[in-house]
Every structure is written in C-alpha cells, then in structure tokens.
Chain A
C-alpha cells in the first residue's frame, strides 16, 4: 500500500500567515493527489484535486503543488475560517489512502 506522510502533524499560525503543509508519498503517484479540509464534527471538504486544481468555490488563497512523491498545500494568507484538519489522499492505486492529517490552529 502507498503511504502518505503529512507534516507537520499540527501547527499553530496567525491570521495573515502563509502556511504550508507537506505530503510525501512512499512511491511516485504522479499527480494523483487530493487535499481535503475537515472541520470538527463535519464531513471533509474537497480543496484541491489532481495535485493543483482548485475545486470550484474554494478561495484562491489555497494552492496545491507537486508531483511524483512530494506535494504541498499552501494557504497564502490564513483566515479564521481555515482552522481544521487537512488531509491529503492519493487515488493512484487501491487502497486510496489518506495521510494522517495536519491539525491547523489559528
């Protein structure tokens, strides 16, 4: 199975900060990588698909980059509503595993 390692596992940042979350795959997955945001008690929300495509309705401060084994999700200017847990997930080969998540505190 392909493992996804996210770092950091948690972080605290301030409004307006630039925040970057990293996701590393245990083997090359091309750009078969998606990012989700989950708020407490809620279903996840799709942010980025195919590594860098912004989902409709997601603010442009969210940016995904990477290919192969190394990927990043960057929030260019942190807003209060960005708190939550962020997960990467691959869809290269089954099982389509998720990373363990990055908990973001404001």
Chain B
C-alpha cells in the first residue's frame, strides 16, 4: 500500500521560506520511472502543479515559480522536501504531495497540509 504524508508549518510570515516534507511508504524513489510531485490548492480554487522530482534526480518546476522553488529527495529516508522562498499571502493554500507515475498521473495523494501566510 502506497501512502504519502505532508508535514511542515501551518503558518509562515510574508518573506519567510516555507519548507515542506513529504514522507512516503510503499515505493522507492530509487526505482526507475518513479517520481514525487507537489501540487497546491488555494482555498476554493483549482489545483496547481508546483514541482516534481524523479528517481534519477531530474527535477521540473512550474515556470512562474521556478525561481522560488527547490525540490530535493532523501531516498534513504523516503522523503521529498519542497522549499519555497519569499512567501506571500497569495501562497496560502493546501499543499499536497503525490506519487507520479511514468505516464504522468498522480496517485495516490497525501492528505494535504494547509499553509497560511500572514503576519
């Protein structure tokens, strides 16, 4: 059974850096073709893909946020970490991580973590 769980702060101040950790089980990020992605959803709005990291350490980012995002993995700990710099109130959202399959769908998803950006 594959599970993922997001963890990190629930509240960050504007200009601060957000660090979120995705801890997963049931698969290995050293297996060819495997990826883990981050997706966010502002309150009452649509899903927005942020970043993905692959088994070979290839990384892709949402172009509009590329300068602010960094995704890394720790294969031994089964963790993927997303950092987002210079947080702004518009970054308030539920942040999800999910396993990415080779042909591109995300399944399953973690339960999500709500991050509020406010002073």
A binds B: no
Which A residues fall within an 8 A CB radius of B? none
Which B residues fall within an 8 A CB radius of A? none
